[in-house]
Structure 1
Amino acid sequence: MKKMSVFGIIFVMAFMMVSNPLTNEFISKIKGNSLEVSIEKDSLYHEIVLNSEKYKVPASDAKIDKIWKAIPGYNGLKVDIEASYKKMKESGEFEEEKLVFKQVKPAVHLEDLPPAPIYKGHPDKPMVSFIINVAWGNEYLPDMLATLKKHHVSATFFLEGRWVQKYPELAQMIADAGHEIGNHSFTHPDLKVSSAAKIRQEMMKTNGVIKATIGSSPVWFAPPSGSYRDEVVTIAAEEKMGTIMWSVDTVDWQKPSPDVLINRVMSKVHNGAIILMHPTSPTAQSLDRLIIRIKQKQLQINTITELLKEERSVDSFSMEKMKDHKKD
């Protein structure tokens, strides 16, 4: 009986609460607010989904070009719907400038391609690389390194093996400054006419002395004077190195005036450019202005490794750049 009485009291109290007009009003408000928020979220979310397709930028696969040989891939972009919604939900309205993007990898990567020389990075990547071949010109290295440091620029130095053997402290200084070190053969021969055994010996001996000096082996190889045949590229690949050429030449070994050197580079510089230079007086004198001019074109300057990465150079993708991309 006591249990029955307790249940009866609970039933009556529950009935009164449910039947209470104030309770009904409270529940209605909660339901209404929830429904309103749900509708608002669904509407905004749906709008982001509908718009996302027109902002999509497909990934670009790595490929072998008939003229430019190996071209690295480049990540695509798609709208991060969840992240974009979170940025817009406070206003509850679709706002183009608040779109958040995430990168999409290509299906074909540089390492998937057969061995081929690389003359430039991807044409959509707003970055260039300085490659600095070193077999002489020690007196100009300190000024060049100071200028690179001043502008927070990292370059890729291709070092001749016998030069490293003779000047290990300079090689270490370059590496300590944060620059990438590449292989430029041991004795600077014409590899296009060298035997396969000679080619491999030049590469392996240089890798050995560089590793003994700075503690790591190069992953990039630059043929002396840019002279090579297909077998050179294949042997470099077997030695775990990619072969690097260039798309812009300073021709600084001819000792042009700094103005001529700068104009020569700026008339040819492009997205993905690999710019060849050496430690020379005109290069040391023009490097400061050259870096400033290149950066004014909204181009970053970094190592070969960074240039050839598929990742886009910036996480955010502005609407202005997107529109430019669509026009192209």
Structure 2
Amino acid sequence: MKKVSIFLIICLSAWISVNNPVVNNYVSSLRDSALPAAKQSDPLYQSIIKNASTYEIPPSDAKVDRVWKAIPGYNGLKVNIGASYKNMKSKGVFDEKKLEYTQVKPKIHLKDLPPTPIYKGHSDKPMVSFIINVAWGNEYLPEMLATLKRHNVSVSFFLEGNWVKRNPDVAKMIVSAGHEVGNHSYSHPDMQKLTAAQTREQILKTNNIIEAATGEKPVWFAPPSGSYRDETIKIADELNMLTVMWTVDTVDWQKPSPDVLINRVMSKIDKGSMVLMHPTESTAKSLDRLITLIEKKDLEIGTVSELMSEERLIK
């Protein structure tokens, strides 16, 4: 009888061990803890570790360049050893095409820099941005928006506050089409000649009007005609806005032919470029071909926010 009882107790204990989640989790943890050791002894795993540094790229800190002023940072790349091993395990051989990466953020960001204008993005980022300043030219906006939509491209429109006040529906249409909106002052003055109070009013008034019309609060400020002084940049910074200029000017207000405009841009455009435009006939007629040629250079077209982002584009 005692032997039967002992047998039943043993069986019951075994059943509990098999069906008890706590016990099962413990057993699983013991089993899983043995995997890394086995994995690390695998020549493939060791090969990935050995070669990882060859493919890794250190992050690039934001900085103030002597010529180009504020330059955003750019994420680095670190090989994800575990994920890369998993990708290569089935064939058991090292294959650089199956490497997985983790992005590594820089230590210094754009927001850490002193108030400084921005003329371009990071020179390693295969992206450019269109800055379209709008204070007039309504008749050309529908064609430009249609071209951007056809190419599935989003850009940044910098709107004059007074223009938005007169054309709230058009401003709303620009945002609804997926584009970013920035601040281009209220009445297009020479910002260099304004007092601090006048500068603050031009920026705040425009922000309020844009937000009321579109629901978007601008974070980028583009001074009219690129005119500013150090105080202008500081006031924008106090209002939590960064000041952007441009890398390449279409000079479209001079009504160049499409060929002249396109050659002007394509001869200078490169990674990180910001291209200044306006809603003009020259730009409207050039935009389709310009987008195609830029994309053929393996450059993406994005908003200013996308260009300034530290996120690395992995081709």
Distance of 2:313 and 2:41 partners within structure 1 = 33
Matches within 5 A, 1:1-328: 3=3, 38=38, 42-314=42-314
Following TM superposition, where does structure 1 have runs of at least 4 consecutive aligned residues deviating by more than 2 angstroms? 37-42
Q: Deviations over 1:177-221 (max 9, x none)?
A: 111010000010001111111111100111111111111210000
Unpaired stretches in structure 1, ≥5 consecutive residues: 8-33, 318-328
Q: Deviations over 1:21-72 (max 9, x none)?
A: xxxxxxxxxxxxx99x947962111111111111110100000011111000
Distance of 1:117 and 1:76 partners within structure 2 = 24
Change over 3 Å in CA distance of 1:198–1:2 after alignment to 2: closer
Distance of 1:173 and 1:311 partners within structure 2 = 28
Structure 2 counterpart of 1:310, one-letter code: E
* % identical equivalent positions: 64
Matched-pair contact (CA < 8 Å) for 1:40–1:92:
no
Greater displacement, 257-266 / 170-179: 170-179
User: 1:98, CA displacement in angstroms?
Assistant: 1.2
Change over 3 Å in CA distance of 1:207–1:40 after alignment to 2: closer
Larger Rg: 1
Matched-pair contact (CA < 8 Å) for 1:155–1:304:
yes
Structure 1 counterpart of 2:306, one-letter code: E
Unpaired stretches in structure 2, ≥5 consecutive residues: 8-33
User: 1:299, CA displacement in angstroms?
Assistant: 0.3
Change over 3 Å in CA distance of 1:152–1:235 after alignment to 2: same
Structure 2 counterpart of 1:107, one-letter code: K
Structure 1 counterpart of 2:202, one-letter code: E
Distance of 2:167 and 2:53 partners within structure 1 = 56
Partner SS, residue 103 of structure 2: strand
RMSD: 2.0
Matched-pair contact (CA < 8 Å) for 1:134–1:278:
yes
Matched-pair contact (CA < 8 Å) for 2:40–2:46:
no
Partner SS, residue 102 of structure 1: strand
Structure 2-normalised TM-score?
Answer: 0.88
Distance of 1:2 and 1:156 partners within structure 2 = 85
Change over 3 Å in CA distance of 1:46–1:212 after alignment to 2: same
